A and B are shown apart, each in its own frame.
Chain A
Amino acid sequence: MSESPQATPQAQNKPQKAESASRGVGRVMKYMAVRLVTLFITVVIGVYLTILIANMGGYVDQIRRGEIQEAAQQRVLTDQALKNLPPEARTKRLEEIIKLEEKRYGLDKPFVVRSMGYLSDAVTLSLGRSQNISSDSGSRQVRLILLERLPATVLLFGTADLLLFFVSLFIGLALSRRYGSFWDKFIVTLSPLSAAPGWFFGIFLIAFFSAYLRILPFGGMVAVPPPDNRLDYFISLLYHMILPVLAITVSSIFISAYGNRTFFLIYSSEDYVEMAKAKGLKSQDVERRYVLRPTLPTIITGFAFTLIGLWTGAPIFETVFNWPGLGRVIFQAVGLYDTPVIVASVVLFAYLLAITVFLLDFIYALVDPRVKIGGEGKSA
Chain B
Amino acid sequence: MKSLLRFFNDLKQYPSAIASMVIILILLGISVYTLVTIPYAEAVRLWRGGEDVWYQLPKTVPPAWVNSFSATKLPDTIILNTATDPSLKTGEEPSGDGKRINMEFTFDFPYDEFPQEMSLYLKAKYDEKAPFVSLTWFKPDGSKISLGNFSMQGATQNFRFSQDPKLKNRFGEVQPQEALLAVKGSDPLQVEKGQYKLQVQAITFEKESEINVEFIEYGKVYGIAGTDHMRRNLMVALLWGMPVALSFGLIAALGTSIASMIIAAFGAWFGGWIDELIQRVTEINSVLPFLPILIMVGTFYSRSIFTILAVTILLSIFGLSIKNYRAIFLQVREMPYIEAARAYGASNSRIILNYLVPRIIPLLVPGLVTGIPSYVFLEASLSVLGLGDPVLPTWGKIIQDAEFNGALYQGMYYWVMEPAILLMITGLAFSMLGFALDRIFNPRLRGM
Q: Is A45 an interface residue (CB 8 A)?
A: yes
Q: Is A222 an interface residue (CB 8 A)?
A: no
Chain B residues, CB < 8 A from A197: 374, 377, 381
Question: A53 and B297 in contact (CB under 8 A), knowing A211-B411, A316-B384?
Answer: yes
Q: Is B295 an interface residue (CB 8 A)?
A: yes
Chain B residues, CB < 8 A from A57: 300-301
**What sequence of 0s and 1s flags, for each residue 125-167 of chain B, a beta carbon within 8 Å of any chain A beta carbon?**
0000000000000000000000000000000000000000000
Chain A residues, CB < 8 A from B16: 189, 192
**What sequence of 0s and 1s flags, for each residue 299-329 of chain A, a beta carbon within 8 Å of any chain B beta carbon?**
0000001001001111110011000000000
**What sequence of 0s and 1s flags, for each residue 28-43 of chain A, a beta carbon within 8 Å of any chain B beta carbon?**
0000000000110011
A207 & B413 in contact (Cβ 8 Å cutoff):
yes
- CB-nearest residue of chain A relative to B268? A5
Main SS class of interface, B: helix
Chain A residues, CB < 8 A from B413: 207, 211-212
**In the bound complex, CA of A335 to CA of B430 (Å):** 33
**In the bound complex, CA of A342 to CA of B387 (Å):** 14
Chain A residues, CB < 8 A from B384: 199, 316, 319-320
- CB-nearest residue of chain A relative to B426? A195
**In the bound complex, CA of A32 to CA of B70 (Å):** 64
The listed residue (B287, B370, B403, B423) touching A196 by CB distance below 8 A is B423
B428 & A192 in contact (Cβ 8 Å cutoff):
yes
B283 & A42 in contact (Cβ 8 Å cutoff):
yes
Chain A residues, CB < 8 A from B385: 315-316, 319, 331, 334
A337 & B299 in contact (Cβ 8 Å cutoff):
yes
| Chain B interface size range | 35 or more
A346 & B289 in contact (Cβ 8 Å cutoff):
yes
Q: Could you tell me which residues of chain B, from 411 to 432, have a CB within 8 Å of some CB in chain A?
A: 411, 413, 416-417, 420, 423-424, 427-428, 430-432
In the complex, how many angstroms separate the beta carbon of A69 from the nearest chain B beta carbon? 20
**In the bound complex, CA of A218 to CA of B406 (Å):** 10
Question: A334 and B295 in contact (CB under 8 A), knowing A6-B330, A192-B431, A350-B289?
Answer: yes
**In the bound complex, CA of A204 to CA of B413 (Å):** 10
In the complex, how many angstroms separate the beta carbon of A310 from the nearest chain B beta carbon? 11
Q: Could you tell me which residues of chain B, from 369 to 386, have a CB within 8 Å of some CB in chain A?
A: 370, 373-374, 377, 380-381, 384-386
A207 & B427 in contact (Cβ 8 Å cutoff):
no
**What sequence of 0s and 1s flags, for each residue 1-15 of chain A, a beta carbon within 8 Å of any chain B beta carbon?**
111011000000000
**What sequence of 0s and 1s flags, for each residue 286-324 of chain B, a beta carbon within 8 Å of any chain A beta carbon?**
111111110111111100000000000000000010000
**In the bound complex, CA of A141 to CA of B292 (Å):** 20
**In the bound complex, CA of A211 to CA of B423 (Å):** 21
Chain B residues, CB < 8 A from A305: 320
Chain B residues, CB < 8 A from A43: 287
Chain A residues, CB < 8 A from B287: 39, 42-43, 46, 350, 353-354, 357
Chain A residues, CB < 8 A from B300: 53-54, 56-57, 59, 339, 342
Q: Is B36 an interface residue (CB 8 A)?
A: no
Q: Is A50 an interface residue (CB 8 A)?
A: yes
Q: Given A5-B331, A316-B291, list of 15 further CB < 8 A pairs? A: A39-B287, A43-B287, A49-B288, A56-B300, A191-B435, A194-B431, A195-B428, A196-B424, A196-B428, A197-B381, A199-B384, A210-B408, A315-B295, A342-B296, A349-B292
Closest 9 CB pairs of A and B: A349-B289, A195-B431, A195-B373, A192-B431, A211-B408, A316-B381, A192-B432, A346-B292, A195-B427
